[in-house]
């Protein structure tokens, strides 16, 4: 657990999918924050008013959850409760792409997705810059920065190296292991970690960097586990045993 998070014990309100909801609750506890999941439209705004950060994850989205996320995002916007969006599966279906864009337009503090999801979200903005832009990695990064500036969001693009930008500052983190993709939920949990740092008062950019770093570093510490049962166990061990001091290592993992 991290003392800064533990001191604030921020309440992290999750509107999330049913696949990894238990892991998200546990990872939030593991770093010293307090998770709550409330998804009925009649109570979702009331819960946002108690929360220090809000996670919106569209992994098993349906009409009820959409209605709840719209209300929660609106209330969070009014109260300056920071929002972390995990646009799970954007690009895979029309519903997910459209709803991710709708939530982004409502205002998200941090948007965390894998390369494919973020590419989908950049889609239109990118196209306006001409087709040839797509082939160039450096230009691609400029698209991401432009998107971040336009939406006043911090973008986290996870991958072999994680790229984080607020449109002005940027950071490439060299941390993690491909094995994090061998179990479900490590992406969702990263959103919970970012939200936990946000809820404890870190800036959006710092929270994005630290949350992403914690998952990557824990993955490295768990990597020697042979089977997936042990890998998941060691991953939770590593996250819960990580200390404030280990966070300074972030600076050594930057390109």
Q: Which is nearer to its own copies, 78 or 181 (CB)?
A: 181
Decide: is 178 part of the binding site for its own copies (CB under 8 A).
no
Does the CA dihedral 100-43-52-240 come out positive or negative?
Answer: negative
158 assigned ligand-binding residue: yes
Decide: is 220 part of the binding site for its own copies (CB under 8 A).
no
Distance CA 26, CA 5 (A): 15
Encoding tokens for residue 157?
């693009």
47 assigned ligand-binding residue: no
Q: Which is nearer to its own copies, 155 or 180 (CB)?
A: 180
For the chain, report the end-to-end CA distance as a whole number of angstroms: 27
Report CA dihedral (172, 174, 178, 183) to the nearest 10 degrees: -80
Decide: is 18 part of the binding site for its own copies (CB under 8 A).
yes
46-105 residues near its own copies, rule: CB under 8 A: 46-47, 50, 59-64, 89, 92-96
186-215 residues near its own copies, rule: CB under 8 A: none
Among 184, 201, 203, 206, binds its own copies (CB under 8 A): 184
Interface contacts to its own copies, rule CB under 8 A: 17-23, 25-26, 29-30, 35-40, 42-43, 46-47, 50, 59-64, 89, 92-96, 181-185, 226-230, 232-241
């Amino acid at each position: 657990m991290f003392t800064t998070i533990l001191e604030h014990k921020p309440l992290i309100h999750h509107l999330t999918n049913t696949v990894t909801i238990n892991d998200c609750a546990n990872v939030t506890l593991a770093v010293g924050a307090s998770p709550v999941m409330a998804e009925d439209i009649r109570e979702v705004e009331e819960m946002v008013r108690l929360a220090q950060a809000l996670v919106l994850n569209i992994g098993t989205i349906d009409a009820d959850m959409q209605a709840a996320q719209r209300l929660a995002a609106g209330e969070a916007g009014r109260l300056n409760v920071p929002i972390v969006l995990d646009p799970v599966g954007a690009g895979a279906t029309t519903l997910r792409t459209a709803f991710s864009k709708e939530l982004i337009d409502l205002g998200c503090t941090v948007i965390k997705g894998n390369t494919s999801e973020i590419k989908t979200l950049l889609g239109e903005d990118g196209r306006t810059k001409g087709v040839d832009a797509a082939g160039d990695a450096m230009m691609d990064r400029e698209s991401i920065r432009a998107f971040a500036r336009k939406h006043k969001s911090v973008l986290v693009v996870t991958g072999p190296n994680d790229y984080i930008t607020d449109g002005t500052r940027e950071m490439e983190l060299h941390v993690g292991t491909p094995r994090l993709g061998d179990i479900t939920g490590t992406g969702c949990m990263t959103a919970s970690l970012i939200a936990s740092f946000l809820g404890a008062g870190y800036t959006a950019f710092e929270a994005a960097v630290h949350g992403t770093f914690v998952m990557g570093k824990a993955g490295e510490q768990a990597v020697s586990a042979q089977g997936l049962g042990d890998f998941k166990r060691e991953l939770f061990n590593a996250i819960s045993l990580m200390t404030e001091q280990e966070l300074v290592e972030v600076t050594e993992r930057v390109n």
